Structure 1
Amino acid sequence: MPWVDSLEVALLKRGSPTGVAAYVRLLALNLQEQTLAVVPITLQLVLTIAIFFRRAPNAPGELVGGMLCAIVGLTLFTDSLRICVMPLAELIGREMPRKLPQAATLFIALCLGILCTYAEPALASLRPLARLVERSKTPYLYIVLNDFLEPLIFSIGLGVGAAAIIGILRFQNEWNMKKVILAAITPCLICSCYMQWGNPELKPILGLAWDCGAVTTGPVSVPVLLALGIGAMKTSKEKKLARRMLQQAVLGGGQKPALDGFGIVTLASLLPVLAVQLLGIVLSFIYTHDDIVNRPEAAVVEDSPDEISPLREVVFAVRAILPLNVAMVFLVLFIIREPIPLLSICPAIDIVPAKRAVGGGGRGTSSSAAATPVVTAEDADQPALNKEGELHLSRHSSRHSITICDEKPSTSEEGTLEEGGEIAISRREISSRAATSEEGGEVEPPEKRGPSARSIGGEESSVGATAAASSTAAPRSPDGSLAHPNGGQPAQSSWANARPLLFGIFMGQIGMVLFNLGLTYGFTAIGDQVGLLLPAAFMSVSGEPSSPFYPYGGGVALTIITVFILGFLATRAEPALNVLGKTVEKLSEGAFSRKLLVYSVCVGVAVGMSAGATKILFGASLIGFILGKYGSALALTYFSSEDMATIAWDSAGVTTGPVTVPFVLSTGIGFSKAVGAEEGFGMLTCASVSPIITVLIVDILRRWRMALAPRAPGSAPIVAVSAELSG
């Protein structure tokens, strides 16, 4: 990013410390990332109501202020994850399985899953929606969102915690992911059928339950769950996996190990659905329809301080973030009895920003990417490793891959590595590594990792639902854990080390407060207004005397196209999707390109949101969408490879971030209010399952086309061994 590089150079010329300049650059990139996620969607909605309905946004000043709060809040919040949450999560995930029995490890994973759920920014969007549900129309939905909102969030957390447990067990026991998906989705579909036909009064909760599955997979839950699961995998099978990688790399045969890091997002999306469904079923046995309708209103004093904005947003933010941070510090100090790891507010420093600014140092990294390459005197003394027949160990979003090829890798000037984060090591080291692996040791790269080591990253490493463990910008060791500047050992607890921790916690609190304000005055406000206006394009809506604004066919087309564009733009702006695309591109050795996956997912989400809008606007049954789409997804999964199946199902989780969810939920509620529907949930459900289908279809068509294509004579095969070792 030229302007970010220029900003960094300007700060250095003014005498700012190098670390401060690097930190400002990181914040600027993060701010740009969040701006690109929020502004296009907001502009699209504002221009739609201005051009086609000649309406201005309600309280435009509050809308602008709310969006600014959301952008700054997400910037600070994601940086707090980099500073404190992810280093602690990785330390816990690495050390907990080694020091605690399995039962204790699984229980702690359950508790962390619950706490992560409360800390998810998108989950806060459920609170303002509770006031929009009418008790007389949907009594069970009303009681869940109002009187039992805290049990609802706790149930979602139980689902995420259960996903953490199953993910750990899967990593340890090498369970087939296809079977895990089938086992997880079957009870969800059974409960859905019961709520649709066994007790029709529970139908309004059906959309809420499936939408909650999309809400949970955000920037907090997925990184922590990945760290826990991968940590468990390392302790039980790290030596075996490393030995298998080296053997396959040297011998050039065998199957590629499946991506063990994928799949946990799928579990975190499905099990909360089941938890919410079970909560609704239990409440139906306790309360009848008349009990809920005649139930006295909850005693809420509207003038109480904790119910007045902005104090309300502050209270919710503290309740969401602080328990998770306190619990993780407690686990580190008193349960696994490790010192707090060496934390750093500033990212790893690139000492040649001036060269990068003038175009000689590579592209800017993502705001949450791993640090840019650092070239030191120690690196300069390293011999060039660019001879033929070398083994490349490349890292993409915490993913390690070993590739044998005949072409020599090119290195850039001053010993830096090519973009993409590839490390070149000579073949003569394979034998010594294999011996180390056979003796039970760990496979290490040739260079030492320390304060002067290269931090491998680049544009590929971005915050992601599936690879969000790479969101920390601190240097990492070869096994994916944090590489501490004191030689790989965590620093002793001290005030100097506590300051970054406290700073990160404080930034997380401020960021969540600002994001909650953005929800109240930005996302929910504009989404509700658009949801009320779009149906007026083709039908008469109370409160809009000029409705319908257009003929029926044109109005319906305008509404569906607007929702389609909203889904496409929102998905395209998700940073996690780019990470997933790059990972798939490496896994398929370029056959499944990043752009192909990204646009497959974007189109899938856009089509799914359009289908969800028709469900609300025209009263279609959600159960038909659920059974039809998930049935199609399961059938396609059967014919897909293990790797692509897990990636496709994980793509359902990366499409719903803290920006997309509030817009979609509030728009759906606005639709329901305009057309008088019972409830406005289900758009996220359809948006989540559709990319599974599109990705699997594209992959099947791609493999079919490759099978029919003639192989070029004399082409040398490239053998790649990939394994997910994120964490």
Structure 2
Amino acid sequence: MLHNELLREKVYESVASVLPITIIVLLLTITIAPLTPGTMMLFLFGAVLLIVGMGFFTLGVDMSMIPMGEGIGVQLSKAKKIILPLLVCFVLGVLITIAEPDLQVLAEQVPSIPNMVLIWTVAIGVGLFLVVSQIRIIFGIPLSYILIFFYAIVFLLTFFVPEDFIPVSFDSGGVTTGPVTVPFIMALGIGMASVRSDKNSSSDSFGLTAICSIGPILSVMILGICYSPEDAAYSMVELSELDSTREVAMQFARAFPAYMEEVAVALIPIAGVFIVFQCIFRRFHSRQLLRILSGFVYSYIGLVLFLTGVNVGFMPAGQYIGSAVAGSSQPWVLIPIGMVIGYFIVKAEPAVQVLTRQVEDVTNGSITQKAIGHSLSIGIAFSVGIAMLRILTGLNIMWFLVPGYLISLVMTFFVPQIFTGIAFDSGGVASGPMTTTFLLPLAMGACEAMGGNVLTDAFGIVAMVAMTPLLTIQMLGLADNVRKRIRKRKLILQLREVEDSIIYFD
């Protein structure tokens, strides 16, 4: 009964997240970007699956992924020898990354490199950098030092990587921080940092996702240098003509088995790790185990529904709309339309829901879900606007990424450490399945209509989405710092006035 009430609450939250972007798309389809009836039905069915799937998934994460990740993190931090937790972190990073559904999609779209070579390269990159994260927490190394050092290496390597392969490298950092990976890694970080009692323990609980996003970028860049691929292109979305609601239903029916298998492959390694952990440490009692098992079932159902909805329903709509708007007499409207879509679409990312909720819990409400949500939406709006500008002008993405990351890294020295961790985590979290299945086809459709180079002009939108939250969240932290200083000064002035009045009366 309690689970039903919680599920109903999660579904209501999903409606509030998905409804705005659904309304925006519907308005576009009856004005400047009319969809065919079949594609419209795909989109509407997809929106329903999205809402229900997100409700199941967020409930499942609360019941299983978060307590499981925190439990493993706490146990690792209690280990007397450092080698064992580092080895476990590496294995966890590799297994969870191989399980990420978005990575399978990326591997299929890079024909110049065998699928398993790319998957294992990305997985090893995440595993190694999860070890780096554990070392940082153990020794209390500031997150800003880690980020500056490794991003300097990333941008140095761009001079040696084939130009067409750079988008694949940056996109790999985004796809690895998907709906399966993020909840577990974030909970793992909270668990590892919770054992410590110093003042930086809460801020150190964030930053694992940020660091783990760097690993795939570096590893895929090195792979690109070794392979020297001539073709790193992505395949365009194939759009089929649908004449009846039965054909629309059949599209979803054919997709369900594939995503059921994909999500099962994604969750089984995590379940296996948990079973081994429980057999060794006996951390959870029977009632907790039953709750975690129920959470796994909810997570499985939710991810199947969500991924089917976005891939089958949202992807064709995104490509159609991008193509129609760019092919109109006023293609410049791509920029404001893209910004509006970007502002609302981030609210429908399942991992974003997990991040904002955990931020509020860890900070005891001092950093609210609403504040983080608004900052993320503003950042994604700017990133999609810039992406549309690039499609119209052909500007090189490095003109935006280099100064953006440079400013964000400099800001790490001026904002509270916890905001730095949240900001860089947000960059990875925001570039999830909604970005790859709606915004990316939107950009590809627009680029095709404009006659541009899809590989260099359209791709990179994932990298932009991952970059702008770094700036907006840290600006939120900077504003919070300024407010605290102002309040402190006012308090000092008030105390001085009280002291002066006491002296005067004496």
Q: TM-score, normalised by structure 2?
A: 0.81
Aligned equivalent of 2:490: 711
Structure 2: 5+ residue stretches without partners? 234-252, 497-506
Aligned equivalent of 2:258: 312
1:513 maps to 2:307: no
Structure 1 residue matching 2:415: 3-state secondary structure? coil
- The one-character-per-residue Cα deviations of 1:609-639 (angstroms, maximum 9, x if unpaired) are 1112222343221122221211222233334
CA distance 1:62–1:703, shift in 2 (3 Å):
closer
Structure 1 residue matching 2:73: 3-state secondary structure? helix
Structure 1 residue matching 2:204: 3-state secondary structure? coil
CA distance 1:125–1:38, shift in 2 (3 Å):
farther
Aligned equivalent of 2:112: 143
CA distance 1:262–1:581, shift in 2 (3 Å):
closer
- Within 1, Cα distance between the matches of 2:80 and 2:321? 52
Paired amino acid for 1:171: I
Paired amino acid for 2:133: G
- Within 1, Cα distance between the matches of 2:305 and 2:395? 37
Paired amino acid for 1:513: V
CA distance 1:711–1:78, shift in 2 (3 Å):
closer
Structure 1 residue matching 2:205: 3-state secondary structure? coil
- Are the equivalent residues in 1 in contact too, given 2:207–2:422 (CA < 8 A)? yes
Aligned equivalent of 2:226: 282
- Within 2, Cα distance between the matches of 1:68 and 1:569? 17
- Within 2, Cα distance between the matches of 1:331 and 1:643? 29
1:536 maps to 2:482: no
Aligned equivalent of 2:152: 186
- The one-character-per-residue Cα deviations of 1:218-253 (angstroms, maximum 9, x if unpaired) are 443233224444444455xx3xx2xx56xxxxxxxx
- The one-character-per-residue Cα deviations of 1:461-497 (angstroms, maximum 9, x if unpaired) are xxxxxxxxxxxxxxxxxxxxxxx6xxxxxxxxxxxx5
Structure 2 residue matching 1:640: 3-state secondary structure? coil
Q: CA deviation at 1:171?
A: 1.0
- Within 2, Cα distance between the matches of 1:702 and 1:66? 39
CA distance 1:224–1:177, shift in 2 (3 Å):
same
- The one-character-per-residue Cα deviations of 1:658-696 (angstroms, maximum 9, x if unpaired) are 434422222233233333423232112112212222333
Instruction: Report the structure, 1 or 2, having the larger helix content.
Output: 2
- The one-character-per-residue Cα deviations of 1:66-115 (angstroms, maximum 9, x if unpaired) are 33233333333333333333333333222245457432322221221223
Q: TM-score, normalised by structure 1?
A: 0.58
- Within 2, Cα distance between the matches of 1:635 and 1:215? 26
- Within 1, Cα distance between the matches of 2:65 and 2:362? 27
- Are the equivalent residues in 2 in contact too, given 1:66–1:517 (CA < 8 A)? yes
- The one-character-per-residue Cα deviations of 1:353-408 (angstroms, maximum 9, x if unpaired) are xxxxxxxxxxxxxxxxxxxxxxxxxxxxxxxxxxxxxxxxxxxxxxxxxxxxxxxx
Paired amino acid for 2:490: R
Q: CA deviation at 1:705?
A: 7.2
Aligned equivalent of 1:332: 278
- Within 2, Cα distance between the matches of 1:288 and 1:606? 33
Instruction: Please point out which of 683, 694, 698 is paired with 2:461.
Output: 683
- The one-character-per-residue Cα deviations of 1:280-335 (angstroms, maximum 9, x if unpaired) are 22221xx667xx99xxxxxxxxxxxxx964432233222222222123212332xx
- The one-character-per-residue Cα deviations of 1:136-181 (angstroms, maximum 9, x if unpaired) are xxxxx4424xxx3343333332232223211111111011111111
Aligned equivalent of 1:80: 60
CA distance 1:659–1:529, shift in 2 (3 Å):
same
- Are the equivalent residues in 2 in contact too, given 1:612–1:685 (CA < 8 A)? no
Q: Counterparts of 1:6-85 in structure 2 under 5 Å?
A: 20=1, 22-56=2-36, 58-85=38-65
CA distance 1:125–1:630, shift in 2 (3 Å):
same
Q: CA deviation at 1:515?
A: 2.8
Aligned equivalent of 1:655: 430
Aligned equivalent of 1:460: none
- Within 1, Cα distance between the matches of 2:318 and 2:83? 44
Q: CA deviation at 1:520?
A: 3.1
Aligned equivalent of 2:441: 666
Structure 2 residue matching 1:214: 3-state secondary structure? helix
1:210 maps to 2:170: yes
Instruction: Please point out which of 71, 85, 94 is paired with 2:74.
Output: 94
- Are the equivalent residues in 2 in contact too, given 1:38–1:71 (CA < 8 A)? yes
Paired amino acid for 2:285: L
CA distance 1:77–1:524, shift in 2 (3 Å):
same
- Within 2, Cα distance between the matches of 1:278 and 1:684? 20
Q: CA deviation at 1:596?
A: 5.2
Q: Counterparts of 1:427-466 in structure 2 under 5 Å?
A: none
Instruction: Please point out which of 623, 628, 646 is paired with 2:421.
Output: 646
Structure 2 residue matching 1:638: 3-state secondary structure? coil
- Within 2, Cα distance between the matches of 1:571 and 1:520? 16
Structure 2 residue matching 1:711: 3-state secondary structure? helix
Q: CA deviation at 1:606?
A: 0.7
Structure 2 residue matching 1:620: 3-state secondary structure? coil
- Within 1, Cα distance between the matches of 2:484 and 2:285? 48
Q: Counterparts of 1:178-327 in structure 2 under 5 Å?
A: 178-195=144-161, 202-233=162-193, 238=196, 241=197, 259-284=203-228, 309-327=255-273
- Greater Cα shift, 185-194 or 154-163: 154-163
- Are the equivalent residues in 2 in contact too, given 1:121–1:658 (CA < 8 A)? no
Q: CA deviation at 1:503?
A: 4.2
- Are the equivalent residues in 2 in contact too, given 1:83–1:343 (CA < 8 A)? no
- Are the equivalent residues in 1 in contact too, given 2:122–2:216 (CA < 8 A)? yes
1:623 maps to 2:403: no
- Are the equivalent residues in 2 in contact too, given 1:38–1:659 (CA < 8 A)? no
- Within 2, Cα distance between the matches of 1:694 and 1:52? 31
- Within 2, Cα distance between the matches of 1:603 and 1:339? 44
- Are the equivalent residues in 2 in contact too, given 1:577–1:651 (CA < 8 A)? yes
- Are the equivalent residues in 2 in contact too, given 1:209–1:277 (CA < 8 A)? yes
- Are the equivalent residues in 1 in contact too, given 2:176–2:213 (CA < 8 A)? yes
- Within 1, Cα distance between the matches of 2:472 and 2:167? 22
Root-mean-square deviation (Å): 3.4
CA distance 1:124–1:84, shift in 2 (3 Å):
same
Structure 2 residue matching 1:532: 3-state secondary structure? helix
Q: CA deviation at 1:51?
A: 0.9
Paired amino acid for 1:182: I
